């Protein structure tokens, strides 16, 4: 459970950094994302999931 809480904490830190460091650029980026086709967003999502799973596999070996 401690490892899980640490992992979730790191995720929150990483997710919060762009909002804190450059909020004006983030707004522009979110407008661009809303204009992207859903298929592109799904591809980006599945790619991120696969990379995350590979990194977890490599880190747990």
Q: What percent of the chain has pLDDT over 70?
A: 100
- Residue 24 pLDDT: 95
DSSP state of 36: S
- Residue 2 pLDDT: 81
Other Cβ atoms within 10 Å of 26 Cβ, number: 13
- Residue 59 pLDDT: 84
40-51: string of b/e by CB count within 10 Å (b at 16+)?
eeeeeeeeeeee
- Return per-residue pLDDT of the chain as tens, 61 residues: 788 898 899 999 999 999 999 999 999 999 999 999 999 999 999 999 999 899 888 888 8
- Residue 3 pLDDT: 85
């Amino acid at each position: 459970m401690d490892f899980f809480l640490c992992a979730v904490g790191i995720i929150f830190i990483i997710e919060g950094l762009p909002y804190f460091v450059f909020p004006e650029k983030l707004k522009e980026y979110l407008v661009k994302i809303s204009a992207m086709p859903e298929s592109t967003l799904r591809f980006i999502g599945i790619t991120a999931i696969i990379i995350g799973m590979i990194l977890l596999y490599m880190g747990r070996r």
